[in-house]
Structure 1
Amino acid sequence: WIEGLTIASIILGVLLGGQLVGVAVSNSLLAINFPIIDTGVDTPAEAAISGLIFIYILAAWFNTRIPHTGVEMRPMPRNKLQLLPDFWRCNSALWQDKLGQISLATTTLFWGVSGNLRYIVLAWSAAALGYSTTQASSLVGVVAIGTAIGAVLASMRMRLDQATSVMPLGIAMGVLVILMNFIDNVWVAAPFLILLGGLGGFLVVPMNALLQHRGHNLMGAGRSIAVQNFNEQACILALGAGYSLSTGLGLSAFAAITGFGVLVAGFMWVIQRWHKSNCIKHKDQVESLLRIARSDKSH
């Protein structure tokens, strides 16, 4: 459920951002006056940024309320570069693990694509539906409904050792993304995006659980999360740079949608073939790891 909330927060962040720059919300924020204090907030953009600052402060306060788990904290070295060899060792260990590499590749691809697809959907909404940024962000927020449903269903129906069976859903997601090019009606787009979000939630939740399971067994939860975040953020940056370059060269929103759909379906097919190859070439090792997964009751 934590993974589902994370996905939902990212998607709802787009929805909130679109509303903050909208006329109705920005005018309401600008109408707020404090006695004596001159905030200097005079434009919709400044009002939106002020709203985000408040949200960041609220999030920071939430972090201070997280209880201590009782785990002894190890002191950080003075020279932070001393952490690099240990980090790369952990990164290599997870990529070499026969289940860890599959789950890491899947979650890395998912976050890389989802981190950039929302911007493409904004451009697509303007081109296909004639939507403004505020209207388009509301449409992107619809995905959160499907994501929440998919995440809940996955947590109820999927066991840890079954996580790799959801990979065909990644291929289906790629196909659905391509089919967005043929939608020009909001009443079709809304349920379509709910379905797309549902597939994403059902895909990433068990895969992330498997990744955390293998990471915990190989190096501990903290190092595993660091490796996961590094790979996912690197993928987001790489795909974002590619999208920016392509739009700079004149690529349309429809072409970008097609490219991302092909990318998702193609890479998920490669990852699926990779896992099948592991099951044949490293059968004993994979079966041993799956037995360990079946005995893990914490995921």
Structure 2
Amino acid sequence: MKALEMPLWSPGMMAVLAAQFFSALADNAILIVAIAIVRSQDYANLVPLLQESFVLPFILLAPFVGQVADGYPKGRVMLAANLLKLAAALIMAAGANPLTAYGLIGIGATIYSPAKYGILAQMFGAAALVRANGMIEGSTIVAILLGVILGGWLADHSMAWAFAGVIAAYGLATLANLFIPRLQAERIATGLRPWLLTRQFLVSLSLMFRNRDSRFSLLGTSVFWGSGTTLRLLLFAWVPAALLITDNRTPANLMGAVSIGIVLGAAAAGWWVSLRNVNRALLGGLLLGPLILALTFVHGLALAAILMIAIGTCGGLFVVPLNALLQERGHASIGSGKALAVQNFAENLAMLLFVGAYGWAVSAGAPVTMIIVAFGLVLLIVIAALAVFRWERA
């Protein structure tokens, strides 16, 4: 299906941006609130499990959500997903187990993600797709910035106000979804037949990994999000150890600093990187490992914030072009929704492995400095190997 070549600043794009902004703001605020709940109950060891309860649906539901995103109008799929997130926030506010409620939010996010990115490939052609992704990533990262800062601040002051803010944000996201253009479904819905869809998903997974560009994108974005998710959790252990600060706001604010950097990196990617010279994105990826290792020498809040912005900038420069590359290749082959479902599966499997390794290291009593060193070295080696393989086959 040919893209509609909409203007970047069309009302439809503004509705997508608004829906994504408020949904991402709520997703990140409620994570900080959930972390604050388990820490206040002296179950800090459950923090990695919170993140795993969120990413597990991305893996288990991957065969189905691509079919849903491609088989129905994507704006309506996004609406249904946000309604599920809103319901989950309400039951967490009512006292439900944070792991269960945050897992339901993960299900909503699993459904939402391929529709959110897939609709861009329907709205814009290849020439504008990197810029459209940059706008979405910029909106997302600003939302993450505000979400983690507001979530940390409100969780330290009033849980009631924290939940009120989260529920209001999900409500605004749902409202914005109503203004997204009702575009035609990319492919005819064939029904949710589990075994058939699982086989189709495995075929899609195989096709995406056989293609040189989509394989590069899948591996690169998976490493990025696996490491980024681990860094978010790691800050809650590193800040008390290195900066001697024990509140919820400081690690949340440092997460916000990473978000500022990703906005800068996304802007740089939109200006400096296109699908024709996408290998330039590797520069940002190669710098991530050394910057993580530099955390071991930081003991001041100002320097920590500067380093977090640098990490985010390199991350944005790395991941935004790879997202656009995958969407363009997926839209032209198996459908953007299925391609994004494959991407979500790969990325969240990486998150599960990274966070699982981090949780194992914490349970084994490894010092936070040792964890950071291992984390930075693994990241450096993996992205360097990806770069060498990519350049050799260029």
- TM tier, smaller: 0.7 to 0.9
- Aligned partner of 2:208 in structure 1 is 94
Report percent identity of matched pairs: 32
Q: 2:362 aligns with which of 239, 247, 253?
A: 247
- Aligned partner of 2:376 in structure 1 is 261
Residues 112, 232 of structure 1: 8 Å contact kept: yes
Hey, what's the Cα distance between the residues in 2 that align with 1:176 and 1:265?
Answer: 10
- Aligned partner of 2:176 in structure 1 is 62
Q: Between Structure 1 and Structure 2, whose CA radius of gyration is higher?
A: 1
- Aligned partner of 1:149 in structure 2 is 264
- Return the letter of the residue paired with 1:240: V
Hey, what's the Cα distance between the residues in 2 that align with 1:86 and 1:242?
Answer: 30
- Aligned partner of 2:309 in structure 1 is 194
Q: How does 1:71-110 map to 2 (within 5 A)?
A: 71=185, 74-110=188-224
- Return the letter of the residue paired with 1:111: W
Q: CA deviation at 1:73?
A: 5.8
Q: How does 1:198-217 map to 2 (within 5 A)?
A: 198-217=313-332
Residues 143, 196 of structure 1: 8 Å contact kept: yes
- Return the letter of the residue paired with 1:87: F
Residues 168, 268 of structure 1: 8 Å contact kept: no
1:228 paired to 2:343: yes
- Aligned partner of 1:295 in structure 2 is none
| TM-score normalised according to structure 1 size | 0.80
- Aligned partner of 2:156 in structure 1 is 22
- Return the letter of the residue paired with 1:62: A
Q: CA deviation at 1:50?
A: 4.2
Instruction: Supply the RMSD in Å over aligned alpha carbons.
Output: 1.9
- Return the letter of the residue paired with 1:85: R
Aligned residues: 259
- Aligned partner of 1:290 in structure 2 is none
Q: CA deviation at 1:174?
A: 0.6
Q: CA deviation at 1:59?
A: 2.2
Q: CA deviation at 1:210?
A: 1.2
Residues 257, 305 of structure 2: 8 Å contact kept: yes
Q: Summarize deviations over 1:185-232 as a string: whole Å, max 9, x none.
A: 112122221111111111111111111122122212111111111111
Specify whether residues 98 and 125 from structure 1 end up closer, same or farther in structure 2 by C-alpha distance, changes over 3 A only: same
Give unpaired runs (5+ residues) of structure 1.
27-43, 280-299
1:180 paired to 2:314: no
Specify whether residues 147 and 72 from structure 1 end up closer, same or farther in structure 2 by C-alpha distance, changes over 3 A only: closer
Specify whether residues 72 and 160 from structure 1 end up closer, same or farther in structure 2 by C-alpha distance, changes over 3 A only: closer
Q: Summarize deviations over 1:103-161 as a string: whole Å, max 9, x none.
A: 11001111111112111122211211122221221122112211111111110121212
Hey, what's the Cα distance between the residues in 1 that align with 2:143 and 2:226?
Answer: 16
Hey, what's the Cα distance between the residues in 1 that align with 2:210 and 2:141?
Answer: 27
| TM-score normalised according to structure 2 size | 0.62
Hey, what's the Cα distance between the residues in 1 that align with 2:221 and 2:236?
Answer: 23
Hey, what's the Cα distance between the residues in 2 that align with 1:52 and 1:77?
Answer: 33
Hey, what's the Cα distance between the residues in 1 that align with 2:141 and 2:345?
Answer: 17
- Aligned partner of 2:140 in structure 1 is 6
Specify whether residues 78 and 205 from structure 1 end up closer, same or farther in structure 2 by C-alpha distance, changes over 3 A only: closer
Q: CA deviation at 1:97?
A: 0.6
Give unpaired runs (5+ residues) of structure 2.
1-134
SS of the equivalent of 1:245 reads helix
Q: CA deviation at 1:78?
A: 4.6
